[in-house]
Structure 1
Amino acid sequence: MIKGDLAELAARAWKRLHGPAQWRILWLKHATFMIGVTGVVLDDHDRVLLLRHRFWKDCPWGTPSGYLERGETIEQGFAREVAEETSLQITDVRIHKINSGFRLRLEVAVISRLAGDQVPRVDEIEVAEARFFTVGELPADLRMGHRELIMAALAGSPA
């Protein structure tokens, strides 16, 4: 059997499989990724929500962050993370950037708005404090990637 015949046989076998079987084979063959999500939450005054994370050593202040759960969209996962960490409800979640190149993780950066006038209440397990900051008040030790995301969010927000 020559190489072309083998390829033709493989193609015919693949076509005979149905969707779920094809997806299962693809899932077994390819890497499974976790999807991390971080994002900016802006209030009506274009102040940004920052959290002082208990488990972040080098730069404790940062934007809300977490990982998607199975079956969630990026927007749903970010809204869930914000609600879990601060009890805040958000709206207008939009994807800003997707970063790859990490071992088995993709990172998605989003920009969102606070839904109405709310006060954050922290979960006290992961988060020590939650506050809204103006751009001039941003902590000096804020992660560079978070600072860049905040600046991009403010550049795209209406004046």
Structure 2
Amino acid sequence: MEIDRHLILQVSLSIVAVAVFIFGLSVVSQVYGAEEPVEDRVVNGTISGDVSDLSVSDGTATGTLSGTLDLDFEESVTGSIDGTLDGGTFSGSFDGTIEGAVEGTAAGEINGTLDQEDGTFEGTFDGTINGTTDTNLTPDGGLALIALIAGFIILMPIFGYLIERESEDE
């Protein structure tokens, strides 16, 4: 394959077209993107992770849980646990932070198995989350995105035609 002016023009125009499309996506997400507030959203899911600073006394257990909260999506959580421990079965509360699709706080009741030896917890979470979501595209942003994609689809054949016409003139 020989590198000539025609090939350089094809590659250059393709790179420029893709770069303009990526820049357009960036602009659309900045202009039409919005963080959505999450206030007192009731959630139910599973929670699991490592427990540190575990203190057990007279059937009461406290500590710090770092792990994941699995709702319809998976979130990282870190927070304090406080409740009763009866033969490995823990029932109590969780109060901490949540990171992922939602950035904020999570609080609620947890029930499950607390393994003192391994320092792990696995169980259910029933509570609320508060915070903000990742940036979501607004309805107007969806229209702008469709227009951007349509423009890209229309411009690529035009660039191809111009390149072919240039090569025919030579």
TM-score, L = length of structure 2: 0.25
Larger Rg: 2
**Greater fraction of residues in strand:** 2
TM-score, L = length of structure 1: 0.27
